[in-house]
Chains A and B, each alone.
Chain A
Amino acid sequence: MNKTQLAELLKVNLRYVNPQATNKARKSGKHGARLTRSIVNQYILSGVIFLAIYGLTMFAIDFSQMPGFFTYYVALFGIIAFSQGISAIYNVFFESRDLVGYLPLPFRQVDIFIAKIIIVAITIIPFALPVLIVFIMAGMRSGIFVVLAVLLAVVLFVLYLSLVFSFCSFIVFGLTRTKFFKKHKQLVTTLLLVVSVGVAVVGILLMNSQTDSLGMVDRGTISAFLPFFYVMTQPFSLVAILSLGGLLGLNLLSFYLIKITLLSKMYEQLLDAAPGVSATKRTHKPNQNLRQLLFSYNSQLIRDPNLIMQVFSNSILMPMIFIIAFAVTGQINLNFLGMEYLGVCFTVGIALATLSVNPMSFVANIISLDKENFLFIRSLPLSMINYLKEKFRFASSLQLVINAVIVVAMGIFFHLPFILLVSALLGNIIATYLLSLRYFARDYRLLLLDWTNISQLFTRGAGNTGLVFLMMGSIFLNVLLIALYVVGVMMYSFLWINGPVFILLIIGCVSWYLYYQRNFWQRFD
């Protein structure tokens, strides 16, 4: 390992993880080592915030007495880290367009690999941090000296993550090496990402279906993860020492396998998998008008399997998991709900729209997906407002269809009366349209045309931390509002509660619409 080269590669890759944050730091006058420190500090800060949040939410559970919950959380966040790891490794290694820049340079493959895997780790760690908390809390509650508990937890966490990343690396690098991948790259990429998300969904559902208890009664243990429990709760016992030895051995074995199977052929593999090496052909459709051409162009923009899966897993997956999880347990039957819940269902439709229309949706990135084309389009004798309106129409229609499917699925699974389903659908359509307006204008405001990795688009503005807070905040607010509304419906008559809400909604929607007409669309007139 060449330390200088590795440090330089890390420095470069760090600047690429979140270019918006990097540019912000640059604008505040940070350069060189100060800039690197500033980026690293941001990750440390967000890590500390996540640790605090997870720590507070898990504080009540005594993991030292509950090996079932201990192994459940380790498995749960392992599955999430695995799913995210697959797409992160694929993105960082195969989709990033910086790789071609390294190929002619005398960097060692192992250094490029390590630098990139550290970047993958940085992006995935927030998803797996609860495991660190589980380890620390299990150790502390077992009466182990705090410093030792934290040290052991950190060591175990590193071993745990390195096993997850090794497993992901074998899958991604193994699959991309096959002849089938070389022949059907787009299909295999889509399958790879779909399967990784599918595994996460099925895994979570399976584990949830084993028990519905959220009380203090422990659940069944997952024996594969018990070694972690032994090391954290009884570190000086024979079983713990054997467990730690086993985990270390497993890690060493996976490092060795990575070295002999992946690193030895990595250069050739990256060359093979690098995008845009060979020409792609598409049948030409003659006599299309501008509108049809733009529709076709916009649909090509989103036909990237990586983008589709990122959007799917980040904006559509959560409501789908929520719906399927309840549907599988079969405990919710809303057939008894009467007309008084018309407004509540309308609000539920709005809530579902806020979950699925976010900075990671198609409509929130459709302008930036143009890349340099956007600047070129500006030079053409085309009406910019018409060009943008076509884009908006395309992306918001797509979003409306996706959201409508979610709402209808919810209605069917929860046996919602037809009229209430229509109300939810209506609320969802209106909210999707209004939120699409907001995120489309935001995309224009934070326009990024020289992105190399799709996640750069998603983290524009507030960055990763902001994104997590936005998601958590919107879930919290939605649940609160719906709960208050339901209480209101139970306490007051139909008109007294729904009337004011209806008026408020009308005023809110019209103001929202007028705001974006005036502040966004009219500037292109």
Chain B
Amino acid sequence: MIELRNLSKVYGTKKALNELNLTIRQGEIFGFLGHNGAGKSTTIKSLVSIIQPTNGTITVDGLDLATNRMEIKKKIGYVPDTPDLFLQLTAGEYWDLMAAAYDIPQTEKETRLIPLAQLFDMLSHQDETISSFSHGMRQKTIIIGALLSDPDIWILDEPLQGLDPQAAFDLKEMMRAHADKGKTVIFSTHVLDTAQQLCDQLAILRKGELLYNGSVEELLATAPAESLESIYLKMAGRHAQEAEGFHE
């Protein structure tokens, strides 16, 4: 279980996250929804130790992230929002780095890597530099690296961006299967259909504030005649912002 308590992040005078409280349980796919700048990536980056929160705590299975960083990092496989990492390395070298980071023995690495690389059609590209890949191929390389250690918690920041339909379908299936095994999948998206299709639990953020936290079904039940898009836009869209004086 992952718990975020009073999590805040301030850049200068701008509050990117304001006193966020969330509980993410095992066995569920948890989605973050929100406009650009809502705080989705800030929350995710805080979870994976890229950002140091200004205030608040994050605990994973009862362990405080601030004091158990290494142990928690080993449980997480992370896909960032932009797949432009380690561009000078070949895909194979990047996967070697991931294997070393997670202490995966060579034979085990091969056993896990081959089916993943085959699934994403990347096996024949392992000697090519990541800088020569398209956006989608970079994304696949990073996804394979993140899943190589078979982590309990998947944290995926807009993971479907740039993937071809087959890879997107396969990844969604894998996310579902992972959650069904009692493990955790956290992801952010702008695509409401994807959220509706995949998420067991949803958090809607706007300007660093949590607007909604619950299941998709519960959210849809608040306005049965309306679509998720319509409910979401009423909650976080332009009209809601204008009504609350957010308009700049």
Contact = CB atoms under 8 A, between A and B. Distances in A.
B246 interface: no
B93 interface: yes
Given A268-B52, A450-B131, A19 B88 contact: yes
B39 to A, nearest CB: 14
A268 B185 CA distance: 27
Nearest to B126: A31
Interface string B47-63: 01111100000000000
B11 A106 contact: no
B87 interface: yes
A279 B16 CA distance: 12
Contact of B101 (A31, A98, A105): A105
A8 interface: yes
Interface in A460-519: none
A23 B102 contact: no
Interface in B66-90: 69-70, 73-74, 76, 78, 80, 85-90
Contacts of A279: 11-12, 14
Interface in B16-41: none
Contact of B127 (A8, A15, A31, A107): A31
A292 B96 CA distance: 48
Interface in A140-187: none
A225 B228 CA distance: 74
A346 interface: no
Contacts of A98: 85-86
B214 to A, nearest CB: 28
B12 A278 contact: yes
A32 B92 CA distance: 9
A9 B89 CA distance: 12
A15 B93 contact: yes
A15 B87 CA distance: 11
B89 A12 contact: yes
A277 B11 contact: yes
Contact of A15 (B70, B74, B88, B101): B88
A191 interface: no
Given A103-B49, A104-B49, A12 B86 contact: yes
Contacts of A267: 49, 69
Contacts of A450: 87-88, 131
Contacts of A312: none
Contact of A106 (B50, B74, B93): B74
A123 B117 CA distance: 36
B70 A103 contact: no
Nearest to B12: A278
A377 B153 CA distance: 40
Contact of A271 (B52, B93, B131): B52
Nearest to B149: A106
Nearest to A98: B86
A450 B87 CA distance: 8
A103 B89 contact: no
B73 A271 contact: no
A267 B52 CA distance: 10
A108 B86 contact: no
Contacts of A330: none
A415 interface: no
Interface centre among A8, A16, A268, A452 (most CB of B within 10 A): A8
Contacts of A15: 88-89, 93
Contacts of A278: 11-12, 14
A9 B101 CA distance: 9
Interface centre among A5, A22, A101 (most CB of B within 10 A): A101
A15 B131 CA distance: 13
Interface string B80-112: 100001111110110011101111000000000
A272 B11 CA distance: 11
B129 interface: yes
Interface string A82-115: 0000000000000000101101111110000000
Contacts of B89: 12, 15
A315 to B, nearest CB: 26
A4 interface: yes
B93 A100 contact: no
Given A5-B101, A23-B129, A278-B12, A11 B51 contact: no
A106 B65 CA distance: 13
Contacts of B48: 103-104
A26 interface: yes
A73 to B, nearest CB: 37
B28 to A, nearest CB: 21
Contacts of B87: 450, 452
B50 to A, nearest CB: 5
Contact of B93 (A12, A101, A108): A12
B5 to A, nearest CB: 20
A108 B70 contact: yes
22 contacts: A5-B101, A7-B100, A12-B86, A12-B93, A19-B88, A26-B90, A26-B129, A31-B90, A32-B93, A98-B85, A101-B86, A104-B73, A104-B80, A105-B73, A105-B98, A106-B103, A107-B101, A271-B51, A277-B11, A279-B14, A452-B87, A452-B88
Nearest 10 CB-CB pairs, A to B?
A: A8-B100, A104-B48, A106-B73, A105-B101, A278-B11, A101-B85, A106-B74, A104-B78, A103-B50, A450-B131
Given A7-B100, A12-B86, 20 more contacts: A4-B103, A5-B100, A9-B97, A9-B100, A12-B89, A26-B90, A32-B92, A98-B85, A100-B50, A100-B85, A101-B85, A103-B48, A104-B48, A105-B73, A106-B102, A268-B52, A271-B51, A277-B11, A450-B131, A452-B88
